[in-house]
């Protein structure tokens, strides 16, 4: 409400209703210390100093800008992040017009000339200004209905932009009128948010000195208005370094955005007795002693009695308790883990590919259970089909009539309640009214989630193969959904640019993660279930804290919408894949990019780490599966103070060394990857005859 008050004040001032303005100001008791602080801020003095050009418009512009600053100061004082400011900026931007629209081309070409003539070391950094300035100035012209100027501005300068912005430019070229912008939320958000640039202090001084000259103050105003320049002390970055990090719709991430502490460690596994049974083929147990027939403790949990400082406290977020069936599952998991193949560069996994034939329905989503017993496919004809991967057929619970006939006291009552007559390898689930874009099995294999273009997320029971709940919240297509590794919670992300955290027993979301500028295309839980990673069409990946909904990390660097995310099993690293064909590796703790895997030539739709994190598998639309050496990729990480302070990265060009193998399919794009508990790689895709 403070923001709206400021906006109203500004409107009154603009309409020259001085008395009303004074009365409102007095009544709201707005001004005071906050104003004083804002006036002293360096950017404030910078702005007030520039009063050249057309006196009247510049005067009101300066005033408007000052008010914006005050609004920002209020917001900061109120404990709200400056970013969440769009109330005021959206309202004010309707009235705000920087400089003379007919001269925009002059401003831009002037700046372009200056940057091109600057020293080599500064040029790369200052060239980052081109794209955001171009888009913002163009949008200003369109929003203020200077159509012909906008058109000629676009014609003249769109060719100068970097190649990876081409998609954005194409969208821009179709926006020629203010009304066109109304429907495009992404562009509206872009207009009201500040594009973040990271520039070294030297380059920034150079720029500032040039722009504060009298004839350039208009473009200086524009720069101040739309760009947030995050200054760092140190060497200016090279073009290569910059190119690795830029590409997102919001610029790069401010350093503060990646400074929050993230608990990336894993939760402790509960200790319980593991009964050894006779069929166990292990010759020796772990200590190397001959097998003893007595239950041994779960050694995984008891390894370190101390709390891992990087792991979240056990009760940081409420998690469901372990049921007996879950404990049995864990025992099975550990038995399988003992038989797991140790992967590495010398020992690559075998890959078993499940091809969906005759999927003229359009395969849009695939998931496989953790124990690899069932595979589900979501299709464009709105069906969800579940297959059994093992010879064991899919059975549903008998009808109540039949249930009444069984002997409830028998030992195998759990088998008797299953209906043999309708057992089949395939079960089809009908219910959605649009293509199914995401599917996810629950860890206990009792439930299945599916999300669809109809805006709902549906929970299906895998015991009766019927739909239990439809979660409505997104009113627009939901692109991805996933169960938490502990069950009970699930996350969904969609076209409305937010990701939502749900619990199966609440019909409304528990958390809403808002902040992306464009659709949320991919959502994944961290192995400790305390954080959620979201990849978006605005080419950023954000990490959110489940406890309070805050965005704790922003990763930029992809040049296209992100379609796949994978956390490493130890929880420290994140791998992301996008339409640009690159896989980027991120260190969550430090918030830095630590690797780039080049090789794919088309969108990467599937990413998966092997069970112990030694191999990263990626599957793409270019019909290949590639295996990368994850151990080597993460091994020489130095926690260099310089690196972490400035965020500089020096990525080695080692994609070729890390690539362990490329496996082609017969014109089948790879949609899903899954490592079984024994480290066999399963892949899935639909055969397409082109």
Partner 1 sequence: LGRVRAAELSGAFPASQVMAQILKDMGITEYEPRVINQMLEFAYRYVTTILEDAKIYSSHAKKSSVDADDVRLAIQCRTDQSFTSPPPRDFLLDIARQKNQTPLPLIKPYSGPRLPPDRYCLTAPNYRLKSLQKKVSSSAGRITVPRLSVGAVSSRPSTPTLGTPSAQAVSVSTKVGTPVSLTGQRFTVQIPSSQAAVKSATPTTPTVQNVLINPSLIGPKNILITTNMVSSQNTSNESNPLKRKHEDDDDYDNL
**Residues between 54 and 83 with contacts to partner 1, criterion CB under 8 A:** none
Question: Is 163 near partner 1 (CB under 8 A)?
Answer: no
Taken in order 240, 241, 242, 245, is the CA torsion positive or negative? positive
Distance CA 327, CA 333 (A): 10
Which tokens hold the place of 454? Answer: 């109809």
Question: Is 383 near partner 1 (CB under 8 A)?
Answer: no
For residue 561, give the nearest of 595, 604, 592 by alpha carbon.
604
Q: With respect to partner 1, which residue has the nearer C-beta, 17 or 510? A: 510
Candidates 6-14, 65-73, 276-284, 498-506: pick the segment binding partner 1 (CB under 8 A). Answer: 498-506
Residues 175-204 that bind partner 1 (CB under 8 A): 179, 182-185, 188-189, 192-193
Other beta carbons less than 10 A from residue 179's beta carbon:
10
- Give the residue, chosen from 208, 259, 297, 323, that forms a contact with partner 1 under the rule CB under 8 A: 323
Residues 453-492 that bind partner 1 (CB under 8 A): 459, 461, 463-464, 466-470, 475-476, 488
Cα–Cα distances in angstroms (integers) from residue 239 to residues 171, 530, 552, 576, 584, in the given order: 26, 36, 27, 22, 18
Residues 235-294 that bind partner 1 (CB under 8 A): none
Concatenate the DSSP letters of all residues of 280-323 into one string.
---SB-TTSSBP-SS-EE-TTTTS--SPPTTSPPTTSS--PPPP
Distance CA 419, CA 405 (A): 12
For residue 664, give the nearest of 626, 690, 629 by alpha carbon.
626
Distance CA 358, CA 378 (A): 14
Question: Is 321 near partner 1 (CB under 8 A)?
Answer: yes
* Polymer length in residues for the chain: 690
Least gap, CB of 356 to partner 1 (angstroms): 15
For residue 577, give the nearest of 644, 477, 672 by alpha carbon.
672
Residues 418-437 that bind partner 1 (CB under 8 A): 431
Least gap, CB of 386 to partner 1 (angstroms): 15
Candidates 236-244, 405-413, 575-583, 641-649: pick the segment binding partner 1 (CB under 8 A). Answer: 405-413
- Give the residue, chosen from 82, 260, 347, 510, that forms a contact with partner 1 under the rule CB under 8 A: 510
- Give the residue, chosen from 119, 547, 645, 664, that forms a contact with partner 1 under the rule CB under 8 A: 547
Least gap, CB of 497 to partner 1 (angstroms): 6
- Give the residue, chosen from 48, 276, 417, 631, that forms a contact with partner 1 under the rule CB under 8 A: 417
Residues 87-146 that bind partner 1 (CB under 8 A): 87, 90
Q: With respect to partner 1, which residue has the nearer C-beta, 110 or 477? A: 477
Angle between helices 185-192 and 86-93 (to 10 degrees): 100
Candidates 242-250, 373-381, 506-514, 629-637: pick the segment binding partner 1 (CB under 8 A). Answer: 506-514
- Give the residue, chosen from 46, 52, 86, 344, that forms a contact with partner 1 under the rule CB under 8 A: 86
Q: How many residues bind partner 1 (CB under 8 A)?
A: 76
Distance CA 173, CA 190 (A): 15
Q: How far does CA 336 lie from the centroid of its chain?
A: 32
- Give the residue, chosen from 43, 45, 109, 173, that forms a contact with partner 1 under the rule CB under 8 A: 173
Least gap, CB of 549 to partner 1 (angstroms): 3
- Give the residue, chosen from 121, 348, 503, 649, that forms a contact with partner 1 under the rule CB under 8 A: 503
Q: With respect to partner 1, which residue has the nearer C-beta, 18 or 323? A: 323
Q: With respect to partner 1, which residue has the nearer C-beta, 511 or 674? A: 511
Least gap, CB of 336 to partner 1 (angstroms): 21
Least gap, CB of 322 to partner 1 (angstroms): 10
Other beta carbons less than 10 A from residue 629's beta carbon:
20
Least gap, CB of 578 to partner 1 (angstroms): 17
Question: Is 496 near partner 1 (CB under 8 A)?
Answer: yes
Instruction: Report the DSSP beta bridge partners of residue 351.
Output: 681
Backbone φ and ψ for 679, nearest 5 degrees, come out as: 70, 30
Question: Is 360 near partner 1 (CB under 8 A)?
Answer: yes
Q: Do residues 605 and 577 lie in contact, with contact meaning Cβ atoms separated by under 8 Å?
A: yes
Q: With respect to partner 1, which residue has the nearer C-beta, 245 or 459? A: 459
For residue 448, give the nearest of 407, 411, 394 by alpha carbon.
394
Specify the 3-state DSSP secondary structure of 535. Answer: strand
Residues 633-652 that bind partner 1 (CB under 8 A): none
Candidates 141-149, 317-325, 333-341, 594-602: pick the segment binding partner 1 (CB under 8 A). Answer: 317-325
Which tokens hold the place of 343? Answer: 């992967």
Q: What is the 3-state secondary structure (H, E, C) of 147-200?
A: HHHHHHHHHHHHHHCCHHHHHHHHHHHCCCCHHHHHCCHHHHHHHHCCEEEEEE
Residues 670-689 that bind partner 1 (CB under 8 A): 689
Question: Is 511 near partner 1 (CB under 8 A)?
Answer: yes
Instruction: Report the DSSP beta bridge partners of residue 478.
Output: 494
Element spanning 531, H or E: strand 531-536
């Amino acid at each position: 409400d403070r923001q709206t008050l400021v906006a109203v004040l500004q409107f009154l001032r603009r309409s020259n209703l001085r008395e009303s303005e004074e009365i409102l100001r007095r009544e709201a008791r707005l001004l005071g210390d906050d104003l004083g602080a804002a006036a002293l801020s360096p950017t404030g003095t910078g702005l007030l100093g520039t009063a050249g050009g057309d006196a009247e418009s510049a005067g009101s512009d300066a005033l408007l800008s000052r008010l914006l600053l005050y609004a920002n100061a209020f917001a900061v004082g109120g404990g709200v992040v400056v970013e969440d400011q769009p109330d005021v900026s959206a309202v004010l931007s309707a009235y705000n017009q920087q400089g003379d629209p007919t001269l925009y081309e002059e401003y831009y070409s002037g700046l372009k000339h200056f940057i091109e003539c600057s020293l080599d070391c500064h040029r790369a950094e200052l060239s980052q200004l081109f794209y955001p300035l171009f888009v913002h100035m163009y949008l200003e012209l369109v929003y203020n209905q200077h159509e012909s100027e906008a058109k000629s501005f676009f014609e003249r300068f769109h060719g100068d932009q970097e190649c990876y912005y081409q998609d954005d430019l194409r969208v821009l070229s179709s926006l020629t009128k203010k009304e066109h912008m109304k429907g495009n939320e992404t562009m509206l958000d872009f207009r009201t948010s500040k594009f973040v640039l990271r520039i070294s202090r030297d380059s920034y001084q150079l720029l500032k000195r040039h722009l504060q000259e009298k004839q350039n103050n208009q473009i200086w105003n524009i720069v101040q208005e739309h760009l947030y320049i995050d200054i760092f002390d140190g060497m200016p970055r090279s073009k290569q370094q910059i190119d690795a990090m830029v590409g997102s719709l919001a610029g790069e991430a401010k350093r503060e955005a990646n400074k929050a502490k993230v608990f990336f460690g894993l939760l402790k596994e509960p200790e319980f007795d593991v009964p050894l049974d006779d069929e166990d083929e292990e010759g020796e147990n772990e200590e190397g002693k001959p097998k003893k027939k007595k239950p041994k403790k779960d050694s995984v949990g008891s390894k370190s009695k101390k709390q891992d400082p990087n792991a979240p406290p056990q009760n940081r977020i409420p998690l469901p308790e372990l049921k007996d069936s879950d404990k049995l599952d864990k025992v099975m998991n550990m038995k399988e883990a003992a038989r797991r193949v140790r992967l590495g560069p010398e020992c690559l996994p075998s890959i078993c590919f499940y091809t969906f034939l005759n999927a003229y329905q359009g395969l849009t989503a695939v998931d496989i259970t953790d124990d690899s017993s069932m595979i589900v496919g979501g299709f464009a004809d709105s069906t969800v089909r579940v297959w059994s991967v093992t010879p064991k057929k899919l059975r549903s619970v008998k009808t109540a009539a039949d249930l009444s006939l069984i002997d409830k006291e028998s030992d195998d009552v759990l088998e008797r309640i299953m209906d043999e007559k309708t057992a089949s390898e395939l079960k089809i689930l009908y219910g959605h009214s649009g293509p199914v874009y995401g599917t996810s099995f629950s860890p206990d294999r009792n439930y299945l989630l599916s999300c669809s273009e109809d805006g709902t997320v549906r929970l299906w029971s895998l015991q009766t193969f019927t739909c239990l709940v439809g979660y409505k919240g997104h009113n627009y297509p939901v692109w991805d959904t996933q169960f938490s590794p502990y069950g009970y919670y699930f996350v969904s992300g969609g076209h409305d640019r937010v990701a939502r955290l749900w619990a199966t027993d609440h019909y409304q979301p528990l958390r809403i993660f808002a902040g992306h500028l464009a659709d949320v295309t991919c959502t994944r839980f961290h192995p400790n279930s305390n954080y959620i990673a979201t990849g978006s069409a605005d080419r950023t990946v954000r990490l959110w804290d489940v406890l309070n909904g805050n965005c704790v990390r922003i990763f930029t660097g992809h040049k296209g919408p992100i379609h796949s995310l994978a956390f490493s099993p130890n929880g420290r690293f994140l791998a992301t894949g996008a339409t640009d064909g690159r896989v980027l590796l991120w260190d969550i703790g430090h918030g830095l990019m630590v690797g780039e895997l080049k090789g794919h030539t088309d969108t990467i739709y599937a990413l998966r780490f092997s069970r112990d994190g030694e191999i990263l598998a990626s599957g793409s639309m270019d019909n290949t599966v590639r295996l990368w050496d994850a151990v080597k990729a993460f091994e020489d990480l130095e926690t260099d103070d310089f690196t972490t302070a400035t965020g500089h990265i020096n990525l080695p060009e080692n994609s070729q060394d890390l690539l362990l193998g490329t496996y082609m399919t017969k014109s089948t794009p790879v949609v899903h990857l899954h490592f079984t508990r024994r480290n066999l790689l399963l892949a899935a895709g639909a055969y397409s005859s082109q």
